[in-house]
């Protein structure tokens, strides 16, 4: 069970006359891949009043506190863990304080690229690609490409554009069906690298850009 802990921070000045809350980003990474901190601020609440933070309608563990003398509040917690098999979920964050119950939304996503069906002869297989989480880079509506890297030279054979990521986390939920390899693929293990650049750069653990790589083995005749 995910038990996020809310850490109360300093106050945030505001001149709002009605209670409102906000988070610092629209998209956060699933903590199984990277721990992201959701930062909450609020204003317009009853001064010096107790409140409860909720996540999808349920009380957030550790999410209680007292507003300051100006009716402001702030805090942070680790982005929640997605359920098994879920790649992206939009959460509703709320604060309940007396008659005030404002809410805000944010999305948690895995960084993932995949295709279905997942098996078959790569030389003839037709698939639908799905890509999640490329908006985690902070780029709105990112272009998503797949680079086909040769097994013999490590150089890119071809690059195709899969589409434009949509939603808070820049995902392409499913493309139209297309050939897994848009060319005659030679024998060997190909590296399919998904990223947001038209030009191929090999992604490594030290790369400053987001990427996801999939290995596809092509057998000889």
Please tell me whether the overall predicted TM-score, pTM, comes out greater than 0.75 for this model: yes
pLDDT tens string, the chain, 221 residues long: the values are 333 444 444 334 444 458 999 999 999 999 999 999 999 999 999 999 999 999 999 999 999 999 999 999 999 999 999 999 999 999 999 999 999 999 999 999 999 999 999 999 998 999 999 999 999 988 889 999 999 999 999 999 999 999 999 999 999 999 999 999 999 999 999 999 999 999 999 999 999 999 999 999 999 76
Q: Which CATH superfamily is domain 7-109 in?
A: Macroglobulin (MG2) domain (2.60.40.1930)
Torsion sign (Cα): 37, 42, 46, 47: positive
- Rounded to 5°, the CA angle 91-92-96 comes to 145
Cβ-contact 50, 66 below 8 angstroms: yes
The CATH T-level fold of domain 112-218 is: Immunoglobulin-like (2.60.40)
Contacts of 66 (CB under 8 A, 6+ apart): 48, 49, 50, 51
Specify the domain boundaries for CATH 2.60.40.1930 within the chain.
7-109, 112-218
């Amino acid at each position: 069970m995910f038990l996020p802990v809310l850490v109360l921070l300093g106050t945030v000045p505001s001149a709002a006359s009605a209670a409102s809350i906000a988070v610092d980003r629209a998209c956060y990474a699933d903590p199984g891949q990277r721990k992201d901190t959701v930062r909450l601020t609020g204003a317009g609440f009853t001064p010096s009043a107790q409140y409860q933070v909720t996540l999808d309608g349920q009380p957030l563990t550790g999410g209680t506190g007292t507003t300051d003398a100006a009716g402001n509040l702030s805090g942070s917690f680790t982005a929640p863990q997605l359920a098994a098999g879920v790649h992206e979920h939009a959460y509703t964050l709320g604060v309940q304080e007396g008659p005030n119950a404002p809410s805000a939304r944010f999305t948690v996503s895995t960084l993932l690229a995949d295709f279905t069906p997942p098996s078959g002869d790569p030389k003839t297989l037709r698939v639908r690609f799905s890509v999640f989480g490329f908006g985690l880079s902070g780029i709105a509506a990112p272009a998503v490409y797949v680079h086909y890297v040769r097994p013999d030279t490590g150089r890119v054979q071809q690059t195709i554009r899969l589409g434009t990521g949509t939603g808070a986390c820049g995902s392409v939920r499913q493309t139209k069906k297309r050939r897994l390899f848009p060319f005659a693929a030679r024998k060997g293990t190909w590296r399919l690298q998904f990223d947001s650049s038209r030009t191929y750069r090999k992604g490594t653990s030290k790369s400053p850009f987001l990427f996801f790589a999939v290995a596809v083995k092509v057998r000889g005749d």
